[in-house]
Amino acid sequence: MTRERLPHPAGSRIDRTRPVTFEFEGRDYTGYAGDTIASALAASGVWCLSRSFKLHRPRGSFGFAGDEAGSLVQLATEPNVHADTRRIEPGMRVQAQNTVGGLERDWAALLGHFERFLPVGFYYKAFYKPRGVWNWWEKIIRRTAGLGRVDRGWEPEYFDKAYAYCDVAVIGGGAAGLAAATACGAQRLDVLLVEREPELGGWLTYGRQGPGDSTLDDLRGRVQALPSVRVMTSAICTGWYGDNWLAVAQGNRLHKVRAKSVIACTGGTSQPAVFRNNDLPGIVSATAAQRLIRHHGVRPGRRAVVLAAGDEGYAAALDLAENGTDVAAVVDCRPDPPAGPMASEAEARGHRILSGHTVREAGRDPQRLQVGGALVTRVTGPGSCAADGERIDCDLLVVAVGVAPAGGLLAQAGAKFRPSAAEAVPRLASLPDHAFAAGVVAGAATVDEALAQGEQAAQAAATEIADPSPATHAIPEVRDSNESAPFWPVFPHPEGHEFVDLDEDVTVREIEDALAEGYEDIELLKRYSTVGMGPSQGRLSAIATAAVTAAARDTTSAEVGATTRRPPAAPTRFGLFAGRGFQPVRHTPMHRWHVGAGAQMMTAGLWMRPAFYGRPDDRADAIADEVLAVRRAVGLIDVSTLGGFDIRGPDALEFLERAYTPSFRRLRVGRARYALLTDEQGVVVDDGVAARLRPDHFYVTASTSGAEQLYPLLLWYQAQWQLDVDIADVTPAYGAINIAGPKARRVLEKLGTDIDCSPEACPYLAARTGTLAGVDVRLLRIGFVGELGYEIHPPASQSLGLWEALIDAGREYGIRPFGVEAQRVLRLEKGHVIVTQDTDGLTHPHEVDLGWALGRRKPFFVGKRSIEILRDKGLARRLVGYAVPDRNAPVPEEGHLVVRGGEITGRVTSSAWSPVLDQAIGLAYVAPEQAEVGSIIAIKAAGGRLIEAEVARLPFYDPDNTRQAM
Amino acid sequence: MVEPRSPIDDALRAAGGSIGEHAGATVVIDYGDPDEEAEAARGLGLADLSPLPRVGFRGPGAREWLTAWGVDLPDEPNRACIQPDGAIAVTRSWTEVLVLGSTQSADSLCARLEAGTSDAHRARAYSLPRFDGLFWFALTGASAADCLAKICGVDMRETAFSSGSVAQTSLARLNAVIVRVDAGATPLFHLLGDSASAEYAWASLLDAMQEFDGRPVGLRALHALAREFK
Amino acid sequence: MKVMPCPLNGPRPIQEFTCGGEVVAPPDPDHADAEAWADYLFLHDNAAGVVREWWYHVPTSFWFIADRDTVTDEIVRTFLPRELFGPDAQPDRP
């Protein structure tokens, strides 16, 4: 099956001792290890790889370099694989994409017959009327116009990222890149050389070199001998971001490279010519033909026509002829081609050369899905040629009309490319800071020029690294090459099918129609016509698009300009962007104990917390039992997730006075009080407890959800106030255990403590330091749940031990651990607000009855002015407690609306069934006039059912607070 | 008595760590294969030092107070300085110092400093509970910098980050202090971060270490490293 | 990805930082009328050119100030808050 194989030395990449059999469209093919899917198929005479996106025309690869949509194929578990760069593996199953019923008989190709009904801007014009019709069309369009299929049974792969650093990153390991890397490495600079192909050398590995050209082995050897040059092959630089941050994809890893300087040696892209049926498989660039010969040892065709506008076409013709292809003619668009070295040699060898001619139209082989011949006619002017000429049979049509600088990456970084004067091919016009360019991308036309530019760029980079003050970078000087045609080879045909963009099936006519409709700006033209929006991102269509636009608007390509280039510069797998995910998780010291005790864990920010202890299907009972244990005996909850700040120094009090709303001036050492925090807009942002441990030392807690945001906020205040105070986030250093219930004191006393826990010595809101079970703790006599309770703050490393000791000591009193769910019910019974659950981004203290927590006599606190303004405007809503008198009514849910007639007056923020009160209770925002105790409000539950609730006095439970003061 | 525990105590025991006494602290001595661990410490090894003493001080008087107690301090922020007993003083800012107790011999410095915290408070050198707040791991070996490049955006290679350098940066998206104090020719990075995320950090590091055949090592392996270069 | 020169930690990837918005001097809360106060809270200049911004280095919990050109995204200078807010502050405009 490898009938088109050439003998050694052709085929530098293949290993003829290792045949590899794979499947394409259900048939077996055999290539060699090192072959790509497309090269192995070409060796078997198969050129058609896919059907086109819109018209389902047969397509193959034009450049054999992984650029176009035409070479995208489907693997078993991976869609959109470039057949011309992916290597074959034994047993690989490859299918063509974008076909309905197979590549050979694609039923959707009938779409081609309806082409006149698929005008430019098709998707924008059709399918949107009548309303809803898109939903029907979408399924069909997705099936016929989509690319590959995602395999939903995929096996996860390991992708990750790594940082890399260097003095100089050289992107592209062709002649210029090798020269640049060698020159930098010789100066002991730390160099990273990134090459997208499997080996270094670029054009030197497949191009036809003239006599006396520097040899590839030399260049490679020199770079490999330098210890400070790291070489990455099969690595694609897909993005060039701010401050020389490069994304380099290699295998399953994305390297995030930071370079002091970058030298772009990204080469060029051989361009297609635009003529009728220029999309047929078997129409390839000169470099593609040379790659097939030298890399893969594949004879690209039996009989070839070469369309040239420069010396490289003649080079290809010579290569083909030497490797057994009958070159029927070299068709040169230029009326008077200059005698370049290759052209002279071709002439000397007697090749048939047709100057001032072009291919007007390609014809299809009636037996196969590929080119079968070319209609060659005389060029009659820019963009026009005679209708009649000579028909030449061929199975290969090689196009060598010009090379565009592969400037996508440079353009991302801010480099400008512009064609000069009346030219069509853009040239490098300016470079951003710390960026250099060399080689074809910078306009070099010969290997020697590329080598010289590489060395110059290296020199400039080295100079700049030694002295980093930014200088304006000289653009490499290039000889004016007079080798391209005086106009870009675009030959419109009365019957169409001259494709400007092969990815998107955009023809000359469609560009002209879009322009006629007023889409003259190049960015608008791109989006409306979709030209340049396919996988090749304009690399093969931008010049022709600009040329067609310039002709239609009677201006120059330079005036037309180019579209913005954005990352990624090459198709990139999502896995590389995702990488190995890093999502920090925070565990309290007691985490393992909770899990071992059967807790159902829930996330709270980065933390994991026990929701309740028990099986998921016992949820309601487990929560109720935990609640009752706290009310009747004693419970303990892990509250290590609370934030904790040590605020110390001569100005500690002053800091608190300004940052928090209440006044702490009269707070004695050994006492704690509620600490509310509002922002400058007067909005409640967090609350906690401030305990005065020394005159100049406060220990302030923060809510689980607020702690992480609060610390930067407090430091930001301090950055402005510049007080003599230190604010330390000690959240992870302390565990915290809240032990609550009528028997809580007995548990502590049994455990052994040097703190006098009697009600007289340690009353409600006392703050003590001492030892408990031999552990140094901070002990706060506070209660969120409305029972006798202590918040114990032990060092994190001893928290689990203390927790276990408390459980042991409390066993005889019926102690029970309780989770977040029970705590929510308990605090709701006490009417306590949870900031961010019962407050939102607009809540100010008066709306939630926290006016008592505002230090009215303080000259200043953050939010004071705003709260005054809001208070003076009058309240728009109030948070109230409610109870549902009907015990058979459904329990309202958080977020349910409070309605009055047809009007929404508020919403439920907290809701629970209270096991103690035996009814549904909750907190809700209501209109101020509904806030009176005893008012009846209507809550709209699921399904539209209205639940009647009565505004209740808070707290629901133990209104005189006798229990927490025991 | 309630003994202090490493924040990754469970993971260490599950990995077969044999836990023993070192200078008053309870640490993983080895994982049952001291020779292989000593080898790994030269290639790539990860040790948990969380049970060893460390203490922080911050405030306008912190530098002066520590100097008065005989601690050698680097002049600049983000530098580390080895004390005569093997402890390491790390400047985290112009006014904050982290002292890591000696990994080689019994600690005396941290204990002395901690005993003086009330005095320090008066001198406006406020003590910080770093023993409980920060996990402490050591990543050692020739591949350590390459391994860190997978989870940390700061260049940790010798040319950019020599022994004595300190970076406070993001490690697998976790705030961390990275202190490089090589053991002779073997790179050694002390890694400290939020003790509540210790398990996450340990697992992330072991995952990043896989491609270099890295493994957890006990304190014995670090001691072997230290002996080699003495 | 940008590099931010942090006055404490040196050049670091911008990912390690969060921006705290422009440095704006609040009006005197006791004397500003409601309109001036609301203007301070809710209306920002969003100027094209060099602006003075708060930046926070997350791993060290460190606030500093940066003069940044919003047109070119160039960071002109970074410095400690005490330059503007300390006892010897000389608040100047960028």
Among B126, B153, B155, beta carbon nearest to A726: B126
End residue of a domain, out of B99, B130, B161: B130
The residue among B6, B132, B175 with the most chain A CBs within 10 A of its CB, best to mutate, is B132
Neighbours of chain A (3+ CB pairs under 8 A): B, C
* Distance of alpha carbon C33 from alpha carbon A868, whole angstroms: 11
Within 697-726 of A, beta carbons closer than 8 Å to B belong to 697, 724, 726
pLDDT, tens digit, 9 for 90 and up, residues A923-940: 999 999 999 999 999 999
| Letter string b/e over residues A780-811, b meaning 16 or more CB atoms within 10 A of that residue's CB | bbbbbbbbbbbbbbbbbbbbbbbbebbbebbe
When CB atoms are compared, the residue of A650, A730, A798 closest to B2 is A798
Residue type, B37: E
Q: Which domain CATH number covers B47?
A: 3.30.1360.120
Kindly state the average pLDDT of the residues A160-188.
Answer: 97
Q: Is the pLDDT of residue A110 over 70?
A: no
Mean of the pLDDT values across residues A599-625? 96
Percent of chain A with pLDDT strictly greater than 90: 82
Q: Rounded to an integer, what distance in angstroms lies between the CA atom of residue A526 and that of residue A529?
A: 6
| Statement: residue A396 has pLDDT above 80 | yes
Chains A, C: CB contacts within 8 A come to 53
**Under an 8 A CB cutoff, do C34 and A711 touch?**
no
> pLDDT band at A213, cuts 50/70/90?
low
Range of the domain at C57: 3-26+39-85
User: What CATH number has the domain bearing residue C49?
Assistant: 3.30.2270.10
Looking at the structure, tell me whether residues B200 and B179 fall in a common domain. yes
Q: Name all contacts of A152-158 with Cβ < 8 Å and 24+ positions apart.
A: A154/A77, A155/A77, A157/A252, A157/A575, A158/A252, A158/A580
Q: Is the dihedral of CA A397, A401, A405, A408 positive or negative?
A: negative
Question: What's the confidence (pLDDT) of residue C94?
Answer: 41
Q: A805 vs B172: CB contact, 8 Å cut-off?
A: no
- Is A212 a residue whose pLDDT tops 70? no
Number of domains chain B is built from: 2
Domain-embedded: residue C90: no
User: Are B52 and B136 a contacting pair, CB within 8 Å?
Assistant: yes
Whether B2 maps to a domain, the answer reads no
Q: In terms of domains, do B170 and B61 share one? A: no
Nearest-by-Cβ selection for B3 from A587, A607, A801: A801
Sheet holding A396-400, edge to edge: A283-285, A396-400, A303-308, A326-332, A353-355
- CA–CA gap between residue C39 and residue B64 (Å, rounded): 46
What is the pLDDT of chain A when averaged over all its residues?
92
| Full-model pTM | 0.93
Longest dimension (CA), chain A: 115
Confidence class for position A475, pLDDT limits 50, 70, 90 = confident
In angstroms, the CA A10 to CA A13 distance is 9
Q: What pLDDT is attached to residue A153?
A: 83
> A732 and B195 in contact by Cβ < 8 A?
yes
C-alpha distances out from residue A639 to A589, A709, A738, A796, Å: 11, 18, 6, 12
From the CA of A177, how many Å to the nearest CA of chain C? Answer: 24
Please report whether residue B76 resides in a domain: yes
As a whole-number percent, the residues of chain A with pLDDT over 70 amount to 94
Q: Which of B78, B128, B168, B192 to mutate to test the interface with C (most CBs of C within 10 A)?
A: B168
- At position A838, the amino acid (one-letter code) is D
B and C: number of Cβ contacts within 8 A: 29
Contact list, B195 vs chain A (CB under 8 Å): 732-733, 796-797
With CA atoms as reference, the chain C residue closest to B78 would be C9
User: Are B21 and B38 members of one domain?
Assistant: yes
Instruction: Please report where in the chains the tokens 């999309």 appear, as a residue.
Output: A279
Q: How far is A200 from chain B (nearest CA, A)?
A: 24
Residue C45: pLDDT band with limits 50, 70, 90: confident
Look at residue A225 and tell me whether its pLDDT is greater than 90: yes
Classify residue A324 as exposed, middle or buried by CB count within 10 Å of its CB (0-12, 13-18, 19+).
Answer: middle
Both B96 and B142 in one domain: the answer is no
Shortest Cα–Cα distance, A715 to chain C (Å)? 7
Whether B119 and B137 share a structural domain = no
> Which residues numbered 707-736 in A keep a CB inside 8 Å of some CB on C?
711-712, 715-716, 719-722, 729
| Residue at token pair 């054009």 | A203
pLDDT of residue C86: 85
- Give domain status of residue C33, yes or no: no
- DSSP lists the bridge partners of residue B22 as B25
Using an 8 Å CB-CB cutoff, list chain B residues near A583: 173
In whole angstroms, how far apart are CA B40 and each of A353, A404, B11, B156? 69, 52, 19, 19
Residues with Cβ within 8 Å of residue C68, at least 6 apart in sequence:
C50, C51, C53, C74, C75, C76
Whether B38 and B23 share a structural domain = yes
Return the residue matching tokens 């229990």: A963
Say whether the ipTM exceeds 0.90. yes
A774-813 pLDDT, tens per residue?
999 999 999 889 999 999 999 999 999 999 999 999 999 9
Indicate if B139 and B64 belong to the same structural domain: no
Number of domains in chain C: 1
Chain A positions touching C87 (Cβ under 8 A) are 722
Residue with tokens 């009353």, as numbered in its chain:
A763
Q: How far apart are CA C83 and CA C67, in angstroms?
A: 13
- Quick check: A800 and A807 in contact, CB under 8 A? no
Residues in B touching C58 (Cβ below 8 Å): 170, 175
User: Are both B218 and B108 inside the same structural domain?
Assistant: no
Contacts of A607 in chain B (CB under 8 A): 196
DSSP code, position A650: T
Residue A606 in contact with partner chain B when CB distance is under 8 A: yes
Three-state secondary structure call for residue A547 = helix
* C-beta separation of A924 from A909 below 8 A: yes
Does residue A582 sit in helix, strand or coil?
A: coil
Determine, yes or no, domain membership for C59.
yes
Sign of the dihedral defined by the CA atoms of residues A240, A242, A243, A246, in that order? negative
> To the nearest whole percent, how much of chain B has pLDDT over 90?
90
Q: pLDDT-derived band of residue C93, with 50, 70 and 90 as boundaries?
A: very low
The residue of chain B nearest to residue C57, with distances taken between CA atoms, is B169
User: From start to end of chain B, where are the E strands?
Assistant: 18-22, 25-30, 45-48, 54-58, 80-82, 88-91, 96-100, 126-128, 134-140, 166-171, 174-180, 188-194, 215-216
Contacts of C21 in chain A (CB under 8 A): none
Out of A146-155, A235-244, A335-344, least confident range: A146-155
Give a yes or no: residue B1 inside a domain: no
What would the pLDDT profile of B96-143 be if each residue is shown by its tens digit?
999 999 998 887 899 999 999 999 999 999 999 999 999 999 999 999
pLDDT digits (tens, 9 = 90+) for A490-539: 999 999 999 999 999 999 999 999 999 999 999 999 999 999 998 888 99
B90 and B66 share one domain:
yes
pLDDT digits (tens, 9 = 90+) for A356-376: 999 999 999 998 999 999 999
Domains of chain A and CATH, by start: 1-154 (3.10.20.440), 160-269+405-466 (3.50.50.60), 272-401+482-487 (3.50.50.60), 498-565 (1.10.10), 603-640+734-826 (3.30.1360.120), 643-733 (3.30.70.1400), 877-966 (2.40.30.110)
Instruction: Please identify, among B112, B130, B148, the residue that sits at the C-terminal boundary of a domain.
Output: B130
Q: What is the pLDDT at residue A608? A: 97
- Given B130, B146, B164, the domain boundary residue is B130
Q: Could you tell me if B89 and B16 lie in one domain?
A: no
Amino acid A229 reads V
Chain A residues close to B27, C-beta within 8 Å: none
Residues of A in contact with C20 (CB under 8 A): 716
Would you state the pLDDT for residue B226? 82
Question: In terms of residue numbers, what domain contains B100?
Answer: 54-130
Q: pLDDT value at position A485?
A: 62
pLDDT at B21 over 90: no
Residue-wise pLDDT tens digits, B35-81: 999 999 999 999 999 999 999 999 999 999 999 999 999 999 999 99
A656 has a pLDDT exceeding 60? yes
Q: Are residues B142 and B222 in the same domain?
A: yes
CA atoms within 13 A on the CB side of A315: 23
Under an 8 A CB cutoff, do C12 and B169 touch?
yes
Among B78, B79, B169, pick the best mutation site for testing chain C contact (most C Cβ within 10 A): B169
- Cβ of B197 within 8 Å of Cβ of A585? The answer is yes
- Chain B residues 122-161 with CB within 8 Å of chain C: 153-154
What burial letters (b/e) apply to A378-414, b meaning 16+ CB within 10 Å? bbeeebebeeebeebebbbbbbbbbbbbbbbbbbbbe
- Greater confidence (A116 vs A51) lies with A51
Residues B124, B164: one domain? Answer: no
Range 863-902 of A in CB contact (< 8 A) with B? none
Residues 234-253 of chain A with CB under 8 A from chain C are: 241-243, 245
Q: What is the mean pLDDT of residues B185-212?
A: 97
